[in-house]
Amino acid sequence: MNPKLTLRDKKKEATAYALAVAAFELALEQGMDGFIVDDIVQKAGYSRRTFANYFSCKEEAVAQYFMGTVSNKNEQSLLADFPPDATPLDVLYSLLKMQFTSEFLHKLQQFVSLANQYPTLEPYILSVFRRLQIAAQEVLEPFALGRYTDGYTHLLAGAVYGAFVPILDGRLNVLLPGETQAERPGAISFDQYLNSMFAYLRKGF
């Protein structure tokens, strides 16, 4: 959580997260057709009115589970590790290594799998990746000002985050952290994929 938030803001943030966790867990256990908002609030220990203060539907709650993955504290820590003349590409590489932990990647893969089964979730995949992309652009901006043209960080973040979609939906044979070759014969490691992707960006296609 953001340490600059007031106690009231922190409580609101915690409530939204608890509802999102409950929604995500129910989606995994029962599928999107197997539960309703009343089940979410009962599992999380809140009222339906409280749910309505944060989310318009259960799909939005499921997606929200992924929205706050990288905290401002972590971003500030990342920025402190780089000199002002660091390239946005190097900063983005470190940001991705911090964001895409084994736990997050596996849960995001579960989310993509759910969206493939339930079309009502599909629009929210774009929201999740858009939120991650915007957060990355905000981190990159200080390293791009005065050195790169307008739109550079948008193009860079869009290209990189878009490259993860075919991993998560199974179109590319890439091992997620924690998986083995026995589970995915012939797959390359996640680090290999990440490094090859950034090699293309550094050298050009």
**Domain shared by 78 and 100, yes or no:** yes
**Domain shared by 32 and 97, yes or no:** no
Helix (H, G, I), strand (E, B) or coil at 101: coil
The whole-number pLDDT of residue 3 equals: 52
Q: What is the mean pLDDT of residues 151-163?
A: 89
Q: Do the domain assignments include residue 125? A: yes
Does residue 76 surpass a pLDDT of 70? no
**Domain shared by 15 and 101, yes or no:** no
Residue 21's domain is classified under what CATH number? 1.10.10.60
Written as one string, the DSSP assignment of 124-175 is HHHHHHHHHHHHHHHHHHHHHTTTS-TTHHHHHHHHHHHTTHHHHTTSS-EE
pLDDT more than 90, % of the chain: 41
The whole-number pLDDT of residue 105 equals: 83
**Domain shared by 107 and 183, yes or no:** yes
Host H or E run for residue 189 = strand 188-189
Which of 62, 83, 102 lies at the terminal end of a domain, its last residue?
62
Expressed as residue numbers, the domain containing 132 is 72-203
Which of 16, 40, 62 lies at the terminal end of a domain, its last residue?
62
